[in-house]
Amino acid sequence: MAEAPSTKGEFTFPWPIISAALVVAIVPIVGIVPIVAIVPIAILIALFQERVVGGLTQGGIKG
């Protein structure tokens, strides 16, 4: 019995493989970016905590 002709061309682009590779490559980068952005700010706030609280308090007082 003869096979049914394929609807795909002889040369097809491997979209599922490319998509999976992009997800595997991009997801870890996107997950790390917020941490890299927040850590330096958190360190600065921890170091200058008294000044931050003093500035917030002073800014909240009507003059």
Contact 45, 52 (CB under 8 A): yes
Residue 44 domain flag: yes
Q: How is 15-41 classified by DSSP, letter by letter? A: HHHHHHHHHHHHHHHHHHHHHHHHHHH
pLDDT at 6 over 60: no
- How many domains does the chain divide into? 1
pLDDT grade, residue 9 (50/70/90)? low
Q: Which residue range(s) make up the domain with 49?
A: 27-57
Q: pTM for the whole thing? A: 0.43
Residue 21 domain flag: no
Residue 4 domain flag: no
Stretch 19-33: mean pLDDT = 83
Residue 8 domain flag: no
